[in-house]
Amino acid sequence: MTTEHVKCLIIGSGPAGYTAAIYTSRANLSPVLYEGIQPGGQLTITTEVENFPGYPEGVTGPVLMDDLRKQAERFGADIRNGIVTKADLSQAPYHFIIDDEKEITADTVIISTGATAKYLGLEDEKKYAGMGVSACATCDGFFYRKKVVAVVGGGDTACEEAIYLAGLARQVYLVVRKPFLRASKIMQERVLNHPNIKVLFEHNAVGLYGTDGVEGMHVVKRLGEADEERYDVAIDGFFLAIGHQPNSAIFKPWVQTDETGYIITEGNTPRTGIPGVFAAGDVADPHYRQAITAAGSGCKAAIEAERYLSANGLL
Ligand code: NDP
């Protein structure tokens, strides 16, 4: 197995990872970035991005990520295809295995592996991906002005997304599998009192239909009960809000995580508590989950890495 030592290893290639690569390469840290399973991250599966500052006409997710990548490469960031399959953060320099075949040791590490939106697992979610199915209301809601949408989920995210969409769409159906909402009381009240939101309690979405995009969903009321009822609801957009899974599994033995797996950092910093190891972007952010906030935290992590190397005579 080949071994290589780097000053700064960046794991993940979303806005956080690429921004960290821009800053660390401009600081002469010769960063090496491994792109992971989904090069470019979650934004590569969205269509138009209209809320990333600097693009007055909007930009597609893949183009935005390509721009960030090119900007990092311009300053010498070494961006590689590969997946970090093992991590050992027990002592510095930290050890990693890439694709089960190469060893890397690193003085500083920026974990920016992101989070993955959960889907129901329906074939139709894949069939209509980018054609009416979305897991991000803030990203895609604007395209449903004056239209009819459904949001699946009963937690705080689903309620927040339903309220956000209700400000744009003509009608929002909130599809909740239980007879109650799991969300906080205040969010429940806002949803239940909103004139544009209709909550479909004890409903499961089991399929979608439409010719050139989503035109409706198949739902089942009281699935599996004697009075089970199946019917269709006409919608233009189908939003999933059933939670995200942060991609933190291989770091969990070493860094502190919350009950969902989000990496806990110190206060408003990307410090993990392990010297020289930082977490940026969605893997450490259960709250905002925006490209711009991820990019901001990638910048913070890069500055922290530079300061750590300098303070420890490792530059
Ligand atoms: P949650 O895990 O809290 O809620 C997920 C929701 O999706 C639940 O209603 C769950 O149903 C439903 N669900 C899960 N799987 C399925 C499925 N297969 N079919 C149908 N429904 C399903 O996730 P959130 O993303 O909402 O929230 C995550 C954390 O972030 C929470 O702690 C939340 O409080 C917090 N948060 C806080 C916010 C704030 O304070 N402003 C905003 C957003 C999130 P069931 O209840 O039946 O399990």
The whole-number average pLDDT for the span 244-265 is: 96
188 CA → ligand 1 middle, Å: 12
Say whether both 296 and 228 belong to one domain: no
Answer whether residue 252 shows pLDDT above 70.
yes
Say whether both 224 and 286 belong to one domain: no
Measured CA to CA, the distance from residue 214 to residue 238 in angstroms comes to: 8
Write out the residue range of the structural domain in which residue 301 sits. Answer: 2-116+244-311
The whole-number average pLDDT for the span 203-224 is: 97
pTM across the whole model? 0.79
Confidence of residue 43 (pLDDT cuts 50, 70, 90): confident
Measured CA to CA, the distance from residue 119 to residue 117 in angstroms comes to: 6
177 CA → ligand 1 middle, Å: 12
Say how many domains are in the chain: 2
Pairing of strands 237-240, 171-175: unpaired
Output the average pLDDT for the chain: 95
Domain end call among 240, 274, 300: 240
Confidence of residue 45 (pLDDT cuts 50, 70, 90): low
Q: Is any ligand 1 atom within 6 A of the Cβ of residue 261?
A: no
Greater confidence (39 vs 9) lies with: 9
Pairing of strands 133-134, 48-49: unpaired
pLDDT recorded at residue 157: 87
Pairing of strands 203-209, 197-200: unpaired
Say whether both 69 and 131 belong to one domain: no
pLDDT in tens, 164-200: 999 999 999 999 999 999 999 999 999 999 999 999 9
Looking at ligand 1, which residue's alpha carbon is closest to its atom 13? 242
Active site residue 8: no
pLDDT in tens, 78-109: 999 999 999 999 999 999 999 999 999 999 99
Active site residue 159: no
pLDDT recorded at residue 136: 87
For residue 169, the surrounding DSSP H or E stretch is: none
CATH of residue 48's domain is 3.50.50.60
pLDDT recorded at residue 46: 66
